[in-house]
C-alpha cells in the first residue's frame, strides 16, 4: 500500500496511546510495551504498517477473538485470551495470509514470532501500568 496516494500505513505506536506493560498473574512482566488497539483506526490497521516488532512490543486487541495476517510482511505470534485474561489458545508462528482465532476469546495479543511460545493455555495476562 506504500504506492497509494495516501502514503504508507502508520506504525502501530503512532496509532495507539501510551503503551502499557503486560504482566502475568504472578506479577512478572511478559511485555514492556503493549499498544492497546481501542480506537477504530488502530483496530483497522493493526500491525499492517509495522514492518517489525521489537522483542518487548506487542499489540493488545480487546473485543477480538479472530485475526488475519493478510498483507503482513512478517510472521507473528498470537495468544487468545478469554474475558478473565486466561490464555485459551496460542498460535506461534502465524505466517502471512492466514486467519486464526479461538472460540471464547475476548482479547487477542499479537507479538513478534516466537514471543507467545512462552505462554501456555491457562496462563493469565493483564495490562499493567
CA distance 128 to 12: 19
pLDDT, tens digit (0-9, with 9 covering 90-100), for 41-57? 888 888 888 888 889 99
| Domains of the chain (ranges, CATH numbers) | 22-127 (2.60.120.1140)
Residue 41, SS3? helix
pLDDT, tens digit (0-9, with 9 covering 90-100), for 53-82? 889 999 999 999 999 998 887 889 999 999
Is residue 122's pLDDT more than 90?
A: yes
Its pTM stands at 0.89
Is residue 115's pLDDT more than 60?
A: yes
In which element (H, E) is residue 13 found?
helix 12-15
Q: For residue 99, count CB atoms less than 10 angstroms from its CB and return exposed for 0-12, middle for 13-18, buried for 19 or more.
A: exposed
Cell numbers placing 71: 498483507
**Residue 93: left if φ>0, alpha if ψ -120 to 50, beta else—which one?**
beta
Strand stretches in 49-98, DSSP E: 57-62, 66-68, 76-81, 87-94
Amino acid at each position: 500500500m506504500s504506492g497509494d496516494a495516501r502514503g504508507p500505513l502508520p506504525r502501530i505506536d503512532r496509532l495507539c496511546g501510551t503503551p502499557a506493560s503486560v504482566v502475568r498473574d504472578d506479577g512478572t512482566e511478559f511485555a514492556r510495551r503493549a499498544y492497546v488497539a481501542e480506537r477504530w483506526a488502530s483496530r483497522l490497521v493493526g500491525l499492517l504498517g509495522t514492518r517489525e516488532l521489537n522483542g518487548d512490543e506487542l499489540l493488545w486487541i480487546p473485543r477480538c477473538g479472530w485475526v488475519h495476517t493478510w498483507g503482513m510482511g512478517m510472521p507473528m505470534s498470537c495468544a487468545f485470551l478469554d474475558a478473565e485474561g486466561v490464555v485459551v489458545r496460542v498460535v506461534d508462528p502465524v505466517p502471512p495470509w492466514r486467519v486464526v482465532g479461538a472460540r471464547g476469546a475476548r482479547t487477542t495479543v499479537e507479538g513478534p514470532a516466537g514471543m507467545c511460545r512462552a505462554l501456555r493455555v491457562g496462563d493469565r495476562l493483564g495490562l499493567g501500568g
